[in-house]
Each structure stands twice: as structure tokens, then as C-alpha cells.
Amino acid sequence: MIDDAFSAEVRAAVDRLAGVAERTPLQRNARLSALTGADVWVKREDLQVGRSYKIRGAYNTISRLGDAERSAGVVCASAGNHGQGVAYACRALQVHGHVFVPGTTPRQKRERIAALGGDMVQLVVVGDSYDEAAAAAAAHAAGTGATLVPAFDALSTVTGQATVAVEILAQLGCEPDVVVLPVGGGGLLAGCATWLRQHSPRTRLIGVEPAGAANMAAALAAGEPVDLPEMDTFVDGAAVRRAGAVTYPLVRDSGASLVAVPEGQICTEMLELYQADGVIAEPAGALSTAALSGGLVSVAPGQTVVCLLSGGNNDVSRYAEVVERSLVHRGLKHYFLVEFPQEPGALRRFLDEVLGPDDDIVLFEYVKRDNRETGAALTGIELGSADGLPELLARIEASPLKIQHVAPGSTAYRFLV
């Protein structure tokens, strides 16, 4: 589609969403501005209906359906946020819908889908990944005649998401130097980048993927969408195995650059957003600001930078894992298997000879009892500073105890931690 026709579709989406989607705030972020030296603004889509930008594409798609299509109902697959957008649209437009989500979708998102959809939506939990939920949704559509509402891979979804860029330009009042957007299946980046290419051509676009699910980068490298052989589903809102057939060429032609952010950095940024900015962000919601705070996006002092905070649907029960991943990422938490002799004073010697003055034991549990003389214990140590690790390892090397460092990514780490 040529740019003029695309722009016309986006403007039509703006009209459809008027009075439905919130015109979310664009707020200057003092923390990120001080950190980077740039003038950093955050588009608060975490305050959107359904707490993410997904309502834009979902409502734009469903509102375009004819009477016969509405009567047949709609269906979608979602990691949670798109499902909330579909649920809200179904209730607002009085269209029956089915929302398929994988078992990994946090309970908070499931409950929000049910609450937003009410009697108009049936929630179906199936499989362990978004792709399994997508296959089930497609099968339902084929068997019932319901209209499939894609989370990202449809032009109506893409143009709906592009309304974010329309608002950014209007609120900022000038062309931003850099816009940083999260990437799951690519609908948001495809829409905003295509719009900005025409209406703010000097703006540099950065798409941010989780390192464990960088499907768009894989597609660009291969020259076509490809399946990721492995995927980390922690960033559930952006854990997509394959880039979209619609979104891929739009992203490819947009000139946008891609970066991948480690999940641990995302967790660190989630905690910073919460503690410093008073913002609750889910993992996918913090992608863009995590890339900026982690130094993965180069910006010059004085530049105007906009980051999209894309989702605020974080289950409070996940914060323990968020803290854990952040500590490990920052080099502050380490695990060891310590073989203790079964004799009085063995633990005291470990504390006196191995631990430093700023180190703290945060986990201690016996894994197994080898025999009467020795017993192995999984020991978690939190350092006062990441710089203290070499000294700790040196003390371990000098200790008569048998101590094995359980490194992140190792087989032992995956089984024990």
C-alpha cells in the first residue's frame, strides 16, 4: 500500500477510535533524561483501555465488520493484552467473541479479559505458547465462520496501532529525533514507522525485541519470516515465534533499526519504573525504556526521544522472579553448590573464610546427603557490589571446601534455580 493510502487508513482509524481509546499522556521522564542527557518523553500506553495499546488495532478491526460478520462472531489468540482489546471491543460493539490464550498467560490478564468482555466473550486457555493458542484460534475460525482478529498480522491492526504515532506528533508539537518502540509480532512498529516515514521523515525509529524472542531480527536476517528454534516466554506480551507476513515487509521497508534487550535488563528497568517513577509496567511494557536505560540505543545530548511504555498488566506474583532476574543480570546474585563436611563448625568456617563483609546468604538448602561425612548445599549469595565477585571466587579457590559456581545458563542452573 502506498503511503497516501496508508495515511488515509490511519486517519480513518483515528476517527473510529475517538471516544473509545484514551488519548494517553506523553510525559517527560526526568530519570531517563538525566541518564542519557537527552530530552526523553514516555508515551503512557500503560494507561490505555486494557492497559496497553492493543485496544487500538482490535477495535479498529472489529468495528469495520459488516452485519453478517458480526453475527458470526470473532475469535483471537493472545498472550493477554490483545485479548483485552478484543474483549473490550466485543462488549462495546455487542459482538460475541472467543479469546484463546496459552497457559503461560498471567492470571491477572486472564481475569481482565473476562472482566472487560463480560457475557460477550468466552476465554479459552490452551497450550503452553502463543503459537499453540493461535493454532487453536485459527481452527475455531475455520470451523465456525467467526472472523479471526489478528494480534498484529493484519493491515487493520497495523493502521490501528499507527494511531499512537499520530498522537505522539500532535502532543509533542515537533518531529522527535528518536522514537523507541517495543516489538512482538511487529504490528506497532510497522504501523508507526510507516506513518512517521511520511509525516516525520527525519525521525530515527528503533524497534526493541526481547533477546529471547527476537523474531523480527531473525526475519530481516533471513529475508523472510522464520520460526525461532527456541524462545524465552518471560516477556509474554512480546514472545512471538514468527514475524508477521504483513508486518515484516512494512518493517523491512521502514528503515527502522532493531535491538535486542536481555530479559534481566528488562526486569531491572521494571523495578526502576516502579521505584523511581511510580509506574507499574509488565515485561513487554518496559522494552523500550529498558533499551534506553541499558545503553542499547545511542542518543545524543539534547535530542528529543520518545519511548512507548506499552503495557501495565503485570501480575504482582511475578515480582519475585523480576527481582531475581534483575539481581542475576546485574551480577549481584550468584549460586554455589557447597560440599560441607558433616562436623561442627563447618558452616562457620564457610562464613568466616569465604563470605566477604558485604556478602549475604539469601538461600541455603541441602540438595542431597552424599554419605555420613559430607552433604551438598545449594547456596545463594547476594553481593554488596558486582565488583566483589573476583574476590569471592578467589576466596572460594583458597578454601578447602569443595565449591562449584552454578553459572547462569548452565544445565545445573536451569535445574536447581
pLDDT tens, position by position, 142-163: 999 999 999 999 999 999 999 9
3-class DSSP assignment, residue 36 = helix
What are the distances in angstroms from CA 415 to CA 63, 79, 295, 367, 378? 48, 26, 31, 11, 12
Q: What is the pLDDT of residue 368?
A: 62
Taking residues 255-283, report their average pLDDT. 97
Mean pLDDT of the chain: 94
Q: Which of 293, 310, 326, 333 is catalytic?
A: 310
Looking at the domain that runs over 3-49+158-324, which CATH code has it been given?
Answer: 3.40.50.1100
Give me the percent of the chain exceeding a pLDDT of 70.
98
C-alpha cell of 48?
Answer: 490505555
> Within 10 A of 139 (CB to CB), how many other CB atoms are there?
13
pLDDT tens, position by position, 5-62: 999 999 999 999 999 999 999 999 999 999 999 999 999 999 999 999 999 999 999 9
What are the distances in angstroms from CA 111 to CA 36, 199, 245? 38, 39, 31
Q: How far apart are CA 296 and CA 294, in angstroms?
A: 6
The band of 369, judged by pLDDT with boundaries at 50, 70 and 90, is low
Domain chopping of the chain, boundaries = 3-49+158-324, 54-155, 332-416
Q: What is the pLDDT of residue 410?
A: 82
Q: How far apart are CA 252 and CA 266, in angstroms?
A: 25
Residue 54 appears among annotated catalytic residues: yes
Examine domains 3-49+158-324 and 332-416 and report if their fold is the same: no
Residue 317 appears among annotated catalytic residues: no
pLDDT tens, position by position, 214-257: 999 999 999 999 999 999 989 988 989 999 999 999 999 999 99
Fold for 332-416, please state it.
Alpha-Beta Plaits (3.30.70)
Q: Which amino acid is at 284?
A: A
Q: Which of 43, 54, 109, 333 is catalytic?
A: 54
Does 54-155 carry CATH code 3.30.1280.10? no
Q: What is the pLDDT of residue 417?
A: 65
Q: How far apart are CA 115 and CA 322, in angstroms?
A: 26
